[in-house]
Amino acid sequence: MQDDVLMDLASFMSDNKCSYKWSPGKFIIVDNTVAYHSRQPFKGPRICYASIGKGVKPVTDTQTHLVLTTGDKMPMLGVGLWQLSKENTTNVVYNAIKLGYRMLDSAEVYGNEAETGLAIEKAIGEGIVKREDLFVVSKLWGYFHRPEHVKAAVKRSLRDLKVDYLDLYLIHYPIA
Protein backbone atom coordinates (compact mmCIF):
# COMPACT_ATOMS: atom_id res chain seq x y z
CA MET A 1 0.00 0.00 0.00
CA GLN A 2 1.27 3.49 -0.78
CA ASP A 3 2.25 5.76 2.12
CA ASP A 4 -0.38 8.40 1.28
CA VAL A 5 -3.15 5.75 1.31
CA LEU A 6 -1.96 4.46 4.69
CA MET A 7 -1.86 8.00 6.06
CA ASP A 8 -5.41 8.64 4.81
CA LEU A 9 -6.61 5.44 6.50
CA ALA A 10 -4.82 6.31 9.73
CA SER A 11 -6.36 9.81 9.68
CA PHE A 12 -9.82 8.41 9.00
CA MET A 13 -9.50 5.93 11.86
CA SER A 14 -8.19 8.62 14.23
CA ASP A 15 -10.97 11.07 13.28
CA ASN A 16 -13.69 8.42 13.77
CA LYS A 17 -12.49 6.57 16.86
CA CYS A 18 -14.45 6.23 20.07
CA SER A 19 -12.25 6.12 23.16
CA TYR A 20 -13.48 5.15 26.60
CA LYS A 21 -11.87 6.24 29.84
CA TRP A 22 -11.78 3.18 32.09
CA SER A 23 -12.54 3.29 35.76
CA PRO A 24 -13.37 0.61 38.33
CA GLY A 25 -16.63 -1.16 37.54
CA LYS A 26 -16.88 0.01 33.92
CA PHE A 27 -17.09 -2.38 31.01
CA ILE A 28 -17.67 -2.29 27.28
CA ILE A 29 -19.19 -4.79 24.89
CA VAL A 30 -17.92 -4.75 21.31
CA ASP A 31 -19.75 -6.56 18.52
CA ASN A 32 -16.92 -7.65 16.23
CA THR A 33 -19.36 -8.13 13.37
CA VAL A 34 -19.97 -4.37 13.11
CA ALA A 35 -16.91 -2.66 14.59
CA TYR A 36 -13.15 -2.93 14.57
CA HIS A 37 -11.55 -2.55 17.96
CA SER A 38 -8.16 -2.00 19.50
CA ARG A 39 -6.58 -1.09 22.81
CA GLN A 40 -4.62 1.91 23.87
CA PRO A 41 -1.63 1.32 26.19
CA PHE A 42 -2.88 0.41 29.65
CA LYS A 43 -1.33 -0.04 33.09
CA GLY A 44 -2.97 -1.50 36.14
CA PRO A 45 -5.21 -4.46 36.94
CA ARG A 46 -7.98 -5.49 34.61
CA ILE A 47 -10.05 -8.54 33.78
CA CYS A 48 -10.96 -9.31 30.16
CA TYR A 49 -13.89 -11.55 29.37
CA ALA A 50 -14.56 -12.82 25.87
CA SER A 51 -17.60 -14.58 24.54
CA ILE A 52 -19.02 -15.90 21.34
CA GLY A 53 -22.70 -16.47 21.17
CA LYS A 54 -25.91 -16.16 19.27
CA GLY A 55 -28.70 -14.03 20.62
CA VAL A 56 -28.99 -12.76 24.15
CA LYS A 57 -27.84 -15.07 26.90
CA PRO A 58 -27.98 -14.06 30.55
CA VAL A 59 -24.65 -14.13 32.38
CA THR A 60 -24.46 -14.44 36.15
CA ASP A 61 -21.59 -13.61 38.47
CA THR A 62 -21.25 -17.29 39.38
CA GLN A 63 -21.14 -18.52 35.79
CA THR A 64 -17.78 -20.08 34.87
CA HIS A 65 -18.36 -20.90 31.18
CA LEU A 66 -20.20 -19.57 28.17
CA VAL A 67 -22.08 -22.05 26.05
CA LEU A 68 -21.23 -21.51 22.39
CA THR A 69 -23.74 -22.02 19.59
CA THR A 70 -22.05 -25.39 18.97
CA GLY A 71 -22.88 -26.47 22.51
CA ASP A 72 -19.22 -26.37 23.54
CA LYS A 73 -18.34 -24.62 26.78
CA MET A 74 -15.72 -21.87 26.77
CA PRO A 75 -14.26 -20.69 30.10
CA MET A 76 -15.20 -17.08 30.82
CA LEU A 77 -11.70 -16.30 32.06
CA GLY A 78 -8.50 -17.14 30.25
CA VAL A 79 -4.83 -16.30 29.97
CA GLY A 80 -3.87 -14.03 27.10
CA LEU A 81 -0.40 -14.81 25.78
CA TRP A 82 0.22 -11.67 23.71
CA GLN A 83 3.50 -9.93 24.53
CA LEU A 84 4.75 -12.73 26.80
CA SER A 85 8.44 -13.18 26.11
CA LYS A 86 9.61 -16.60 24.96
CA GLU A 87 11.73 -16.79 28.10
CA ASN A 88 8.72 -16.35 30.41
CA THR A 89 5.93 -18.06 28.49
CA THR A 90 6.46 -21.68 29.57
CA ASN A 91 6.61 -20.76 33.25
CA VAL A 92 3.67 -18.33 33.09
CA VAL A 93 1.40 -20.76 31.22
CA TYR A 94 2.38 -23.74 33.36
CA ASN A 95 1.69 -21.80 36.57
CA ALA A 96 -1.57 -20.43 35.18
CA ILE A 97 -2.74 -23.99 34.50
CA LYS A 98 -1.66 -25.01 38.02
CA LEU A 99 -3.70 -22.10 39.41
CA GLY A 100 -6.81 -23.28 37.55
CA TYR A 101 -6.85 -21.32 34.31
CA ARG A 102 -8.23 -23.50 31.54
CA MET A 103 -8.44 -21.16 28.53
CA LEU A 104 -5.21 -20.24 26.77
CA ASP A 105 -5.52 -17.44 24.22
CA SER A 106 -2.65 -17.78 21.76
CA ALA A 107 -1.72 -16.87 18.20
CA GLU A 108 1.14 -17.88 15.93
CA VAL A 109 2.12 -14.24 15.46
CA TYR A 110 2.76 -13.89 19.23
CA GLY A 111 5.89 -15.96 18.64
CA ASN A 112 5.47 -18.06 21.79
CA GLU A 113 3.27 -21.00 20.80
CA ALA A 114 6.17 -23.49 21.06
CA GLU A 115 6.84 -22.33 24.64
CA THR A 116 3.11 -22.54 25.39
CA GLY A 117 3.16 -26.09 24.04
CA LEU A 118 5.95 -27.02 26.46
CA ALA A 119 3.81 -25.79 29.37
CA ILE A 120 0.75 -27.71 28.13
CA GLU A 121 2.83 -30.85 27.67
CA LYS A 122 4.33 -30.50 31.17
CA ALA A 123 0.96 -29.89 32.85
CA ILE A 124 -0.61 -32.89 31.10
CA GLY A 125 2.45 -35.05 31.78
CA GLU A 126 2.29 -34.24 35.49
CA GLY A 127 -1.44 -35.06 35.61
CA ILE A 128 -2.49 -31.50 36.49
CA VAL A 129 -4.97 -31.51 33.58
CA LYS A 130 -6.09 -33.65 30.68
CA ARG A 131 -6.12 -32.14 27.20
CA GLU A 132 -9.93 -32.05 27.23
CA ASP A 133 -9.81 -29.85 30.37
CA LEU A 134 -8.12 -27.06 28.41
CA PHE A 135 -9.73 -24.65 25.94
CA VAL A 136 -6.92 -23.78 23.54
CA VAL A 137 -7.38 -20.82 21.20
CA SER A 138 -5.14 -19.79 18.32
CA LYS A 139 -5.50 -17.35 15.48
CA LEU A 140 -4.80 -17.19 11.75
CA TRP A 141 -2.49 -14.28 10.93
CA GLY A 142 -3.26 -12.05 7.93
CA TYR A 143 -0.37 -13.38 5.83
CA PHE A 144 -2.03 -16.79 5.70
CA HIS A 145 -5.60 -15.97 4.60
CA ARG A 146 -5.23 -17.58 1.19
CA PRO A 147 -6.99 -20.97 1.26
CA GLU A 148 -3.83 -22.85 0.34
CA HIS A 149 -2.00 -21.39 3.39
CA VAL A 150 -4.59 -22.02 6.12
CA LYS A 151 -3.95 -25.74 6.59
CA ALA A 152 -0.20 -25.23 7.01
CA ALA A 153 -0.80 -22.42 9.54
CA VAL A 154 -3.15 -24.61 11.59
CA LYS A 155 -0.71 -27.52 11.49
CA ARG A 156 2.11 -25.23 12.65
CA SER A 157 0.04 -24.05 15.63
CA LEU A 158 -1.00 -27.62 16.49
CA ARG A 159 2.63 -28.78 16.35
CA ASP A 160 3.96 -25.87 18.38
CA LEU A 161 1.19 -26.07 20.98
CA LYS A 162 1.70 -29.85 21.19
CA VAL A 163 -2.03 -30.56 20.85
CA ASP A 164 -4.10 -32.66 18.44
CA TYR A 165 -6.88 -30.10 18.11
CA LEU A 166 -7.75 -26.48 18.82
CA ASP A 167 -10.95 -25.60 20.63
CA LEU A 168 -11.25 -22.29 18.79
CA TYR A 169 -9.39 -20.98 15.75
CA LEU A 170 -10.00 -17.37 14.81
CA ILE A 171 -9.09 -15.11 11.93
CA HIS A 172 -6.86 -12.70 13.86
CA TYR A 173 -8.14 -9.72 11.94
CA PRO A 174 -10.19 -9.55 8.75
CA ILE A 175 -7.63 -7.84 6.54
CA ALA A 176 -5.20 -10.03 4.60
Residue 103: which CATH number? Answer: 3.20.20.100
In a domain, 36, yes or no: no
Per the domain annotation, does 74 fall within a domain?
A: yes
Does 60 fall in a domain? yes
Give pLDDT, residue 35: 56
Give yes or no: 110 in active site: yes
Q: Which of these, 124, 125, 123, 112, lies nearest to 160 by C-alpha position?
A: 112
Does any domain span residue 104?
yes
Is the residue at 17 inside a domain?
A: no
- The count of structural domains within the chain is 1
pTM for this entry:
0.65
With respect to residue 30, please indicate whether it lies within any of the assigned structural domains: no
* pLDDT at position 124: 98
Q: Per the domain annotation, does 99 fall within a domain?
A: yes
Catalytic site residue from 94, 101, 110, 169? 110
Q: Which residue range forms the structural domain that includes residue 78? A: 42-171
pLDDT in tens, 28-80: 666 555 555 666 666 666 666 655 555 555 555 667 888 887 888 888 888 99
